[in-house]
A and B are shown apart, each in its own frame.
Chain A
Amino acid sequence: MRDQDIIKILQNFKSIKPDRNYSEKSRMLVLLSKEQIADNKLPSFKIKSFADVLKLSTLVGAAIFLLLFLVGGVSYINKNFSPLALEGLNQKSLIAEAENINNSIQITLEEIKYLNQSNQNAINTIEEVSKNKSMYVAPTSTPSVSTSTIDEIDKFLIENNPSSTENQSDLIDKLLNQISQ
């Protein structure tokens, strides 16, 4: 058998074909398989050309710009025009206000403490006075002496003419000597 004979035999096998029914069924299943997989996947963009890429990037860019614009706008409005934007909401002023309130509370507390202390002192003094009543009562007998002394002074002044200024100093000296006695 020559080489050409073998090649001729082999080339005859080109006519071998798969069963037609099998081929049709297999073809259909193969082509359907991708659609089934695509159906199971999440929807996605089909980018076919540069124009599609451009469209997609424009859309994404516009969406980002819109988002930033909205966030910025909301932030600006909230800062400047919102009814919630009170002075008290400013952190620095809030702290200052809190410090003022704190200081006034401190002053009030000190006043209360002072008043409390002075009250206590007054009570103590009253108690002490009530304890030593006899000691303070004793001097009440002296007014008789003093009233008599005053009467004597009056008499002395009437007897001696007080208009004469010459002997005035002598008179005062005498009077003082009498009081001291």
Chain B
Amino acid sequence: MLDGEENLITDAIRGEASAFGLLYDYYQPKIYRFIFFKTGRREEAEDLTHQVFLNAWQNVKNYKFQGFPFSSWLYQIARNQIIDHYRTRKETLNIENVDEPETVDISIEDKMDFGLEIKRVKKAILALNEEQQDVIIMRFIDDLSPKEISLTLDKPESTIRVLQHRAIKTLQKLLEIKEI
């Protein structure tokens, strides 16, 4: 959670663009990664991330704390955006059409096998069911707490832990297969 997030949200609700700009800077990479691993395509991830923040900024006055962190609200918008995107396109993602690795830190990109590893894991993640995908991406790639994930997915924390455990086991099996 961002320092002074509540104040920033209050200011953003009042219409202060600079406050929402800071929220954007903090949450945009997380939402982008979430969408990227869910869609597997860079262009789609960029378009959908833009739409998520556009919707969030347009409707930020409707956001109320009520125990839900701002990140949960953003992830909910992102999930709905992805669902709407595939509903309108009426196509399912073929894991064979997954894009190459994204822009990464130069130090990491220098590692020769990193790009290949990303592609392999991304395919494995896309082979999981929707809930397992969400939990794995939020928990380990976007670094959300189990509580935040439970609030975002509207499921008990215990269910989130079970989903996380099953997802790890499934990924383990998938990554052990050389073809992926």
Contact = CB atoms under 8 A, between A and B. Distances in A.
Bound pair (A, B): yes
A29 interface: yes
A168 B114 CA distance: 180
Contact of B57 (A16, A20, A30): A30
B14 A13 contact: no
B53 A30 contact: yes
Q: Which of A12, A30, A37 has the most CB of B within 10 A?
A: A30
B136 interface: yes
Interface residues of A, number: 31
A3 interface: yes
A158 interface: no
B29 interface: yes
Contacts of B45: 18
A36 to B, nearest CB: 11
Interface residues of B, number: 42
Interface in A1-58: 1-3, 6-7, 9-20, 22-23, 26-27, 29-31, 33-35, 37-38, 46, 48
A38 B58 CA distance: 10
B171 A29 contact: no
A41 to B, nearest CB: 12
Nearest to B15: A34
24 contacts: A2-B172, A3-B168, A6-B172, A10-B136, A12-B114, A12-B117, A15-B105, A16-B29, A16-B101, A16-B102, A16-B141, A17-B104, A18-B103, A26-B28, A26-B46, A26-B50, A29-B50, A29-B54, A30-B24, A31-B17, A33-B54, A33-B57, A33-B58, A34-B57
Given A26-B46, A30-B20, 8 more contacts: A7-B168, A9-B121, A11-B143, A18-B32, A19-B103, A30-B50, A33-B58, A46-B15
Interface of A: 1-3, 6-7, 9-20, 22-23, 26-27, 29-31, 33-35, 37-38, 46, 48
